Amino acid sequence: MSVLALDHLSVDFDGRTALDALSLDVSPSEILALVGESGSGKSTLALSALGLLPPGARMSGNVRIDGEDLAAMDARRLSEVRGGRVGMVFQDPASALNPALTIGRQIGEVLARHCDMDRKAIRGQVAELLDRVGLDVGPNRYPHTLSGGQRQRVAIAMGVAARPALLIADEPTAALDPIAQRRIVDLLVGLVRERGMALLLVTHDLALAGEIADRIAVLAEGKLVEEGPAKRLLSAPESTELRTQIDAARVPPVPWPRRDSTTLLNASGLSRVHRGEPALIDASFVIKRGETLGVVGESGSGKSTLARLVLALDRPDTGTLGMDGIRYSAITRRELYRRMQAVFQDPSTSFDPRWTVDDIVAEPLHLLPERPSATERTARVASALTAVGLPQDAAIRRPHEFSGGQRQRIAIARALILRPSLVVLDEALSALDARVRGEILALLIRLQAEHGMAYLFVSHDIKLVRAIADRVIALRNGRVVAEGDARDMLDAPDHPYLAALVAAQPRLI
């Protein structure tokens, strides 16, 4: 019997079809990868399988867990199934974890609800689960004290705590560096093989799907367009949708625009301590005008700390930063942010949802010495939207009306409007599907060639760094352990740590 069986499942949101008569099943000990572009219906399917669709959604068809109809379950039975028979790992661990509770208590609550264990046994099991997912932090830590990758591992520990028959994992490795991703993938595959657990893996990473999945199901506009053994589908795709995704996932090296040899940003001996632990130790590097410096490393290696220091969102305990030969301490914040802007991983968290795109893109204009006239403001916003490939009517709409890739274009337009010398991109492409990621990558390269901007490109995706970066630095435990030409270092890494990062990343067949 299938652990999960969907029979002609359809879901509508306000008249918009999210899933269209979709039938699919997952068997014990099987890994089924659900792939498709953003908006194809992957996450809607995952939420449908647990009865977690938002109010206003209309569902028809059947969802069965171990042969039991989900629609016939009362609230108590649903509570037993969720977290017990079916575990869930959501894409964004920050929204799935309670910031007011320790990670040990949150994992322990799953065990207390679904397993017959006393407090001592729960404490022991929590410690074992944290170790199993590769976390060397204590159970008394709070989610906000952990990196994004560490929080995702906590979420996975909660998802598998009650030994579910089915684990639904929605982009579980999207926020992880290659080494952490490898550890989590090995863990998930091991659990499937050891426990006979079924795994429904929702992912835009075709290389990961091809490496671990038994079958792949391809969604497009809510329809199942192709399904079959993973390796056969990836080597001989029949649908246009899958062929397009495969082509986009093979990120080619891009032509490098001409560079200026003068130094734009200089960092010397940067160190930062957080809560008594060193986050960055004596880091020194330069960024030249018009070039891209890639930053790679494991979760917790210091990448985001480095980015925050460069953006003056935090101050180093020791060391100095300078732009155009002038120390940060001698530059006003207003002047610094006229020269430097940022694009973050999740643009929706940096947008005011009440604002129109016009308001969002125009926000940095207050940094100018003189406020532009209404006509000039409108022209600047229109120029920025055109540069990132968005229509002019986007200006009157709000962020929730756009896809993830379009929201990232809005964030780039906002960063571009002042024509800064430096743009810091902190995991700016990691949440996008392969096609959109390729489009945004090409957009960044074009904008850099046209406007001569330099990029600090922080990413755990080695393929993306190789495609865009001129030089790369590798961070480990807060220290710069390798630095040099991006292609030389990533094609034939001579440092063991960097070689491990490169080797750990899955490759598309």
Rounded to two decimals, what is the model's pTM?
0.81
Q: How confident is the model at residue 496 (pLDDT cuts 50, 70, 90)?
A: very high
What pLDDT, in 10s, does the model give residues 416-460? 899 999 999 998 887 777 888 888 888 888 889 888 899 999 998
- Residue 30 DSSP one-character state: -
- What CA–CA distances, in Å, run from 421 to 261, 335, 455? 14, 12, 9
What pLDDT, in 10s, does the model give residues 15-30? 788 899 999 999 999 9
What is the rounded CA–CA span in Å between residue 395 and residue 421?
Answer: 25
- What CA–CA distances, in Å, run from 505 to 178, 336, 490? 5, 36, 12
181 has pLDDT over 90: no
- May I ask the CATH architecture of the domain 4-249? 3-Layer(aba) Sandwich (3.40)
pLDDT above 90: percentage of residues in the chain: 52
258 has pLDDT over 60: no
pLDDT computed for residue 442 by the predictor: 87
Q: What are phi and psi of 424, to 5 degrees?
A: -95, 120
Structure tokens at 9: 């499942």
337, 313 Cβ separation under 8 angstroms: no
- 358-373 core/surface letters (b: 16 or more CB in 10 A; e: else): bebbbebbebeeeeee
What is the rounded CA–CA span in Å between residue 385 and residue 54?
Answer: 32
pLDDT computed for residue 34 by the predictor: 94
pLDDT computed for residue 269 by the predictor: 96
180 has pLDDT over 90: no
* 3-state SS assignment for residue 258: coil
509 has pLDDT over 70: no
Q: How confident is the model at residue 296 (pLDDT cuts 50, 70, 90)?
A: very high
160 has pLDDT over 60: yes
**What is the arithmetic mean of pLDDT over 223-243?**
92
Closest by alpha carbon to 189, among 165, 210, 172, 213?
213
What pLDDT, in 10s, does the model give residues 261-271? 799 999 999 99
What is the rounded CA–CA span in Å between residue 220 and residue 236?
Answer: 18
pLDDT computed for residue 38 by the predictor: 79
**What homologous superfamily does CATH list for 263-350+421-504?**
P-loop containing nucleotide triphosphate hydrolases (3.40.50.300)
Compute the mean pLDDT over every residue in the chain, rounded to the nearest whole number.
89
Beta bridge partners of 266: 286, 322
**Same CATH fold assignment for domains 4-249 and 263-350+421-504:** yes
Sequence-separated (6 or more) residues with CB below 8 Å from residue 22 = 6, 8, 9, 10, 41, 45, 61, 219, 222, 223, 224
pLDDT computed for residue 463 by the predictor: 87
Listed ranges 110-119, 303-312, 386-395, 489-498; the one with the highest mean pLDDT: 303-312
The residue ranges of every structural domain in the chain are: 4-249, 263-350+421-504
- What CA–CA distances, in Å, run from 493 to 90, 254, 385, 482? 34, 20, 39, 9
Q: What is the 3-state secondary structure (H, E, C) of 442-478?
A: HHHHHHHHHHCCEEEEECCCHHHHHHHCCEEEEEECC
Higher pLDDT residue, 186 or 94? 186
What pLDDT, in 10s, does the model give residues 304-341? 899 999 999 999 999 999 999 999 999 999 999 999 99
